[in-house]
Amino acid sequence: MNESYLIWGISFAVFAAIIIPYYLSFRKRQKLDLERKKEAEYIGIGAPRSQFPMVNNADCIGCGSCVDACPEHDVLGIVFGKAAVINGDRCVGHGYCELICPVGALKVGLGDVKQRPDIPVLSEFNETTVPGLFIAGELGGISLIRNAIAQGKLVVDRIAEINKIRSNPNTDFDLVIIGCGPAGLSASLTAMENHLSYVTIDQQDPGGTILQYPRRKLVMTQPVDIPLYGRLDKREYSKEHLLELWQNIIQNRKLNILPQTKLEEIRRHDSFFSITAGGKEITAGFVVLAMGRRGTPRKLGAVGEDRAKVMYQLIDAQSYEKMNLLVVGGGDSAAEAAIGLARQNGNIVHLSYRKPKLFRIKKKNEERINEMIKTGSIKPIFNSNVIEIKDKLALVAVDGKTVEIPNDYVFIFAGGIPPFDMLKEMGITFGGNYRELASV
């Protein structure tokens, strides 16, 4: 009997030694995640802007695998024993959470687009509510280079199928592709693969959003297959490597691209489209919109914002040394610009943001910039607005007072004005005005 009690006692002690610390740790984690969720909702970053993890609570076992797998480290948490979106605004759609979940309880997507006035209504093949007009890339709400490449192939493969049935021999091309970033490049290669006649138009040079990245910025997080090229196996590539790759593919495959050609208008006729770009009109049976969502840079409305010293992107931080620099904005672009400029020799970097702290940035950027703020490398000016930009000064309103900041250059990252109005003029329906897609 005593031996039996001893065995039970030892078993209970082992059980308690393992389970009780785990339970206490789990409770502590849940409490912290719940507090994070409430804070995120209060400051307005709880709701996602694009794709996000959609959790099926009926299947979720609350193991936390998805939380640990997220490279951003701040999107998911465990609340009341289930996985929950904490900072939805910080999700960029890596998809590791979906892959790692042992019970398949979550999926990364856009949710119900009927409630999203910023998301165009698309078919399973990314065709818009305008028959023959497709979208590939972040314009449809899904970000990441690998997704853009996959969508470029998806839509053109679909177009090739439809073209066999209803091709129009009287048009200049089977297909016109607008934009030559990853989605547009993939679409162009897939058009060549399917023997479609096409032309790709871009208002800049090939590269898309990647062109706007700072030098040596690392991009991509998962291997991806590029049509007519092969697989990119590494998890990360530098901006320069990818741009060089794009150029080699374009030259080797002799892709039909018109750079520095601005899109002016797209009109649909009974069986074809007329596209006006660069002052010329082109006709095609199909159109793929592979443009980004950023559109034109958003202005502050400050006096002197038209000065040559004011810029809306930072390509090479190393070009700026021993200068007084002002970065305006609270997103990742602003944070990365401030970090890059502050690392250069002799720079004094101020960061102006209209809110009390940086909310909408990735965890890694948050950690880096907070460390540089502590060391004084970056001087934050929160709750502020730039009101005037002079030759050697910037005037910033802070708590009702005007502060003069010595300044050589101003970098503004206030987001962009998406091309939604132009898309609506084409007849594309957005989620907020949802209607069923016409059958092909």
- Domain pair 26-109 / 133-295+418-433, same fold: no
276: left (phi over 0), alpha (psi -120 to 50) or beta: beta
Query: Is residue 421 within 8 Å of 143, Cβ to Cβ?
Result: no
| CA-closest candidate to residue 349, choices 410, 412, 305 | 410
Q: What is the pLDDT of residue 100?
A: 84
Helix/strand/coil for 107:
strand
Q: Which fold has domain 26-109?
A: Alpha-Beta Plaits (3.30.70)
Q: What is the pLDDT of residue 353?
A: 95
Task: Choose the CATH number for 297-416 among 1.10.260.40, 3.50.50.60, 2.40.50.180, 2.60.40.10.
Answer: 3.50.50.60
Read off the pLDDT band of 302 (50, 70, 90).
Answer: very high
Q: Is the per-residue pLDDT at 43 higher than 60? A: no
All residues at 6 or more sequence positions from 385 whose CB lies less than 8 Å from its CB, including other chains: 300, 302, 352, 354, 396, 397
Report which DSSP code applies to 92. -
Helix/strand/coil for 112:
coil
Burial pattern 315-344, b for ≥16 Cβ within 10 A else e, equals: eebeebeebbbbbbbbbbbbbbbbbbbbeb
Query: Is residue 75 within 8 Å of 53, Cβ to Cβ?
Result: yes
Q: What is the pLDDT of residue 49?
A: 63
Do the bridges between strand 218-219 and strand 237-238 make them parallel or antiparallel, or are there none, so unpaired? Answer: antiparallel
Indicate the pTM of the whole model: 0.73
Q: What is the pLDDT of residue 307?
A: 92
Q: What is the pLDDT of residue 33?
A: 62
Cα–Cα distance list, 257 to 38, 275, 415 (Å): 49, 15, 28
Q: What is the pLDDT of residue 136?
A: 94
Q: What is the pLDDT of residue 438?
A: 43
Report which DSSP code applies to 108. E
All residues at 6 or more sequence positions from 312 whose CB lies less than 8 Å from its CB, including other chains: 297, 411, 412, 413
Q: What is the pLDDT of residue 160?
A: 95
- Tell me the domain boundaries of the chain: 26-109, 133-295+418-433, 297-416
- Mean pLDDT along residues 244-255: 89
Q: What is the mean pLDDT of the chain?
A: 83
> What CA–CA distance (Å, rounded) separates 184 from 204?
13
- Mean pLDDT along residues 225-244: 83
Helix/strand/coil for 94:
coil
Q: What is the pLDDT of residue 209?
A: 67
- Mean pLDDT along residues 152-173: 90
Report which DSSP code applies to 290. -
Q: Is the per-residue pLDDT at 48 higher than 70? A: no
Q: Percentage of the chain surpassing pLDDT 70? A: 82
Helix/strand/coil for 314:
coil
- The phi and psi torsions of 224 (rounded to 5 degrees) equal -150, 150
Residue 254: its H or E element: none
Q: pLDDT (tens digit, 9 = 90+) per residue, 117-152?
A: 788 888 999 999 999 999 998 888 877 788 889 999
Read off the pLDDT band of 439 (50, 70, 90).
Answer: very low
Q: Is the per-residue pLDDT at 214 higher than 70? A: no
Per CATH, the homologous superfamily of domain 133-295+418-433 is: FAD/NAD(P)-binding domain (3.50.50.60)
Q: What end-to-end distance do the CA atoms of the chain give, in Å?
A: 79
Q: Is the per-residue pLDDT at 221 higher than 80? A: no
| CA-closest candidate to residue 288, choices 81, 77, 127 | 127
| CA-closest candidate to residue 315, choices 336, 345, 296, 287 | 336
Both tokens of residue 332? Answer: 């990742």
H helical segments located in 362-418:
363-375
> What CA–CA distance (Å, rounded) separates 133 from 249?
26
Residue with tokens 């297959």: 225
Task: For residue 219, list its beta bridge partners.
Answer: 237
H helical segments located in 78-144:
96-100
Cα–Cα distance list, 146 to 70, 111, 153, 395 (Å): 17, 20, 11, 42
